[in-house]
Structure 1
């Protein structure tokens, strides 16, 4: 539970009524949009040798073939469509091929949801999974809408609580997210609920409690699994964010003991080394991560290293690659507004261009503290301190202790 406040999750009559109306509208839309056309199953992309993880890749290929054949033989096999979508989602995280896998997942999920033969249990699972994809695409309002529709079908399920927590956090509905997290911890205390409790503790200024909760998430995971590696990575990032670089690096290195070549751990080690001033070693690790998967974050980190060393031509060349990657993500339905804003502000020293992207995101979710912090930094860089203060006030509503937020508060 939360150290600062504990809220008991209760479904109010008003909330239930809103969700019921939304679900009835969805049911009508579902019937109207039903199609009998055959579904196109997206390809399974070859994993790079370094991330095949032995038998794991064999199992993924076997599962893909099984689900694909099942759907081919029976267009009403909605369970296989959902399982295939979940496989796509995992592969997106493992390989970094978001632009291929997320649209493929949405296609099979929509086909399942709009299939007249689907029952309520599978509708719930499909919608919950779809909301998760929408979160990954940074389509937070639609994720919240889809999640609320799914919650009507199974309001006590822990998984849908996780989706609604994430969506409410991103939309800036922090009190609602706390209430949902309390409820999720009661329903199923596991790696997913502990990790969400950790994040909410951190953004409310309880850094110690955030570390404790994320450590509980790690302990609840099975060593070697991708989700456990991700929890360990997040724990390391908390330590790194508040200056405990040696501890963070140790955590990242421990990930690689159970999941060799985990690219995010490799890239994180590169970031720590850069902060420690060990630029040559940092460059080596970042390029190693880039060689494993084409994750744009690794390219951005390397560009920062080039800027730090005044390697202007190399930085500019890499920035062009980054812009192409971000555009490809955007073209495939991935909202990259904040990533573009950060690129222009921090790498290119162009706050005016950064502002155009940050404003687009603010229009979507004006209560989110990260969006407001970005706008505060941009206006501070432009020199408009009064407007910066307006956004800074909203960025401080949860009393987060982010070092860059505290530094901006002092200006």
Structure 2
């Protein structure tokens, strides 16, 4: 018998239909895992591979193998799994071209992981049409709409998922939408429901990481949330990175360096590499920072080879640490694909860093701490000092823990 969505979250989710245009947060978490594999993911992949040698016509197992590869790529930051995932999923669709919602969901997950959000939306729509009762099809459709900036459709899809299967995957998505709207108490409540529903170590670790991200966004870095995640799953990559960030935020920078080294050793994800390099720079360890940035450039090449569209992260990195003109190229391309607030803010900063502040101000925002901080810099470059002071004050109110904001405070601004 199908469970109804818990009344409190269902009511909260209905409110979210009126969400404003997606603006992004300082550091948004990714969507929930496609599937919970916990510690046996590699073993499950090997078992599927062995089985398919004996039964190569099993379309369902080919689809499950593809989903496993997508999840393995997420956990290891190794984009080499994406071509493997695509091969397995397309083989499943070849064997069963009609009604194969598992493979269609896999393609939606894969294209979303590659940041091909229009493609992810289209695959999720096909999956939902093939099996309207598949909750993950609606969840992935919601994820794609969020990234494309259509929060009304995102909420509609999420509500369908909630009605079909209230649980960790749907509650964490609800929390994500409430974070975007900055309805933080509701986001916290959704995460509490997710934690109450979590059964496996992977789900528990994931929810605690999201609690840490919410605490960070509201200006209260929570080391405890990440340590709880690591207690549930020692070595969980997102928790290692979050713990390093929290340590840096509360001034324990020597410990943070060690924590970042562990995090990038386990999962060399581009954003974590950037943060590690910036921390090393702040400590005057420029040679070590440059080493991390070289690793990052290598990672960008690997992700591109795996089919990942990395213009947003690459553009942000080039704007701050590389070639601002290249940053503008990356972000103009990304903005053409999805003109969301998050991308607009990054594009504005790249234009400013390239000496084009008059163009930048048209895209500048102030709805996150990072956006408000960047806007203050653009306004100051244009001689709008009073506006710049207001934007900087807003950034400090939203999240005083950003490293650049702490430097501004140290300078007495």
TM-score if structure 2 supplies the norm length?
0.78
The aligned residue for residue 208 of structure 1 is 185
- 1:124-178: CA deviation from partner (whole Å, max 9, x where unpaired): 1110111011111111111111111222112243111101001111111111112
Cα 1:126–1:65 shift into 2, 3 Å: same
Structure 1 contact 197–213 (Cα < 8 Å) conserved: yes
The aligned residue for residue 83 of structure 1 is 64
Cα RMSD of the aligned pairs, angstroms, is 2.4
Structure 2 contact 145–151 (Cα < 8 Å) conserved: yes
Alignment map for 1:141-290 (pairs within 5 Å): 141-224=118-201, 226-245=202-221, 248-290=222-264
- 1:18-54: CA deviation from partner (whole Å, max 9, x where unpaired): xxxxxxxxxxxxxxxxxxxxxxxxxxxxxxxxxxxxx
Q: Which runs of 5+ in 2 are unaligned?
A: 1-10, 19-36, 377-386, 389-413
The aligned residue for residue 276 of structure 2 is 302
Alignment map for 1:26-65 (pairs within 5 Å): 59-60=40-41, 62-65=43-46
Matches of 2:248 and 2:212, distance apart in 1: 15
Matches of 2:241 and 2:50, distance apart in 1: 37
Cα 1:250–1:131 shift into 2, 3 Å: same
Matches of 2:77 and 2:41, distance apart in 1: 16
Deviation at 1:297, TM superposition (A): 3.2
Matches of 2:70 and 2:208, distance apart in 1: 20
Deviation at 1:56, TM superposition (A): 6.3
Secondary structure of 1:89's match? helix
Deviation at 1:252, TM superposition (A): 0.4
Matches of 2:104 and 2:213, distance apart in 1: 31
Cα 1:62–1:325 shift into 2, 3 Å: closer
The aligned residue for residue 84 of structure 2 is 104
Matches of 2:51 and 2:193, distance apart in 1: 39
Q: Which runs of 5+ in 1 are unaligned?
A: 9-54
Deviation at 1:311, TM superposition (A): 2.4
Deviation at 1:214, TM superposition (A): 2.1
1:94 to 64, 71, 75: 75
Alignment coverage as a number of residue pairs: 349
Matches of 1:362 and 1:355, distance apart in 2: 10
Matches of 1:324 and 1:65, distance apart in 2: 28
Bigger CA drift: 227-236 or 161-170?
Answer: 227-236
TM-score if structure 1 supplies the norm length?
0.78
